[in-house]
Amino acid sequence: MTRYITTALLLGGLTLSGQLLAGSQEQAKRLHDRLAGVPPTPSTLATMATAIDSGDAIDAAYTAMESEHFYNVTLKLFAAPWTNRDQSIFVPFNDYIATVIGMVRDDVDFRQVLQGDILYTGDASLGLPAYNASNNAHYEAMEAQDVNLKTGLVRTTQSSLTGVPANATAGVMTTRAAAKSFFIAGTNRAMFRFTLMNFMCRDLEQVHDTSRIPDRIRQDVTRSPGGDSRVFMNNCIGCHNGMDPLAQAFAYYDFEYDAEGDPEGNNGRISYNDAGQLDPATGTRVEAKYHFNANNFIYGYVTPDDGWDNYWRDGPNSLLGWDPSLSGSGSGAKTMGQELAHSEAFAQCQVEKVFANVCLRPPVDGADRGKVSEIVGSFKASGYQLKQVFAETAVYCMGE
């Protein structure tokens, strides 16, 4: 099993700088500090050092991840920036963060983070307010009680609690926290952009490609910004020609809130136009926001449904490594999330994020990049278990 890789194979007895590694106790402490954020107890330190001495540093890493602090601190701070536009860690605990933590704890195939009907809530025995799709009280109470997230989270489904049907759930993209941040107002492009940043490690500038056809760019995008069509042809088109066909997957979603009385949407909830539910402004299931500012370019694309296509399967963005077993088109957020999660870029991104989190630096040289590539392979071979990525990465950096 990949978990039982010997320390010698992982580290070759040397640090990146070629110096001899520290002793097993120092390595064990470094492992625990990096993974749990706190020093180990003497008994834990001894157990980890023994594992390292016997050539099983990965087992030592898993011992470190038995600490509740791995869940309450490391994973909580790891996921928090993904939940808001400011990418800040200073946000209340919420269903998005809880779901990421629960998935890591339970070794759930991490690709489900963008496609699963999955949600983690607090255990009913904790005396918490019931989950409410219209507020965050349940999770704020968990934070106030300093609930042990290693034991206090329970897996359930979004479709049983939020009103979004199972076939329209899409992992963390359809959690309340994500909807509050990225479906609120706007045109739903924010949900796509921040999903791209958080799970593909690329902002729109990194996927800019003016060679794709612009036939799906919506009416709200002017073709002559400031009266100069060259700006559109050389800049705007390069993002919208790929983004708009993919963001069409969110056409039936919105975040409903009182914009005047509750401008932050603290009491709002995700909404979804199921079959038979028509938006009065569009006469279809498509939300009105997809038809905003239609006069900017009346000949632009009028969104008829939630059908999406991935134009980036061709051209330079084919290097993102799209899964050839998928068609590159579909309907709704679930299948679009699957398209993203089954790419090589998704797997690479998760490993790079963990590397930066655990090693306290990005990959900087050939040795780092080689290790990242190796861990990507192990991540996929393990069934996309992110805990395995934390373990292997921490072992790689424990001698620094």
Distance, CA of 400 to CA of 14 (rounded, Å): 10
* pLDDT confidence of residue 399: 80
Q: Please give the distance of CA 324 from its chain centroid, rounded to a whole number.
A: 22
Q: What is the pLDDT of residue 13?
A: 40
Mean pLDDT by 10 residues, the chain (400 residues): 40 38 88 96 98 97 98 98 98 98 98 98 97 98 98 98 98 98 98 98 98 98 96 97 98 98 98 98 98 97 98 98 98 98 98 98 96 98 98 93
Q: CA triplet 306, 311, 314: central angle to 5 degrees?
A: 155
Q: What angle do CA 245, 251, 254 make, to 5 degrees?
A: 140
User: How many angstroms separate the CA atoms of 283 and 134, rounded?
Assistant: 26
Q: Please report the pLDDT score of residue 11 as a whole number.
A: 40
Which of helix, strand or coil describes residue 330? strand
Q: How many residues does the chain have?
A: 400
Q: Are 182 and 214 spatial neighbours (Cβ–Cβ below 8 Å)?
A: no
- CA-wise closest residue to 372 among 343, 396, 351, 390: 351
* CA distance between the termini of the chain: 26
pLDDT value at residue 3? 44
* Torsion on CA atoms 176, 171, 158, 143, rounded to nearest 10: -50
**Residue 269: helix, strand or coil by DSSP?**
strand
What's the angle, vertex CA 211, arms to CA 206 and CA 215, rounded to 5?
Answer: 105
Give rounded-to-5 percent helix, strand, coil for the chain: 50, 5, 40
Separate counts of helices (H) and strands (E) for the chain? 16, 6
How many whole angstroms separate alpha carbon 40 and alpha carbon 67? 9
Provide the whole-model pTM: 0.94
Which residue shows structure tokens 């609690």? 161
What is the distance between the alpha carbons of residues 179 and 184, in angstroms, rounded to a whole number? 6
The span from the CA of 350 to the CA of 79, in Å, is 11
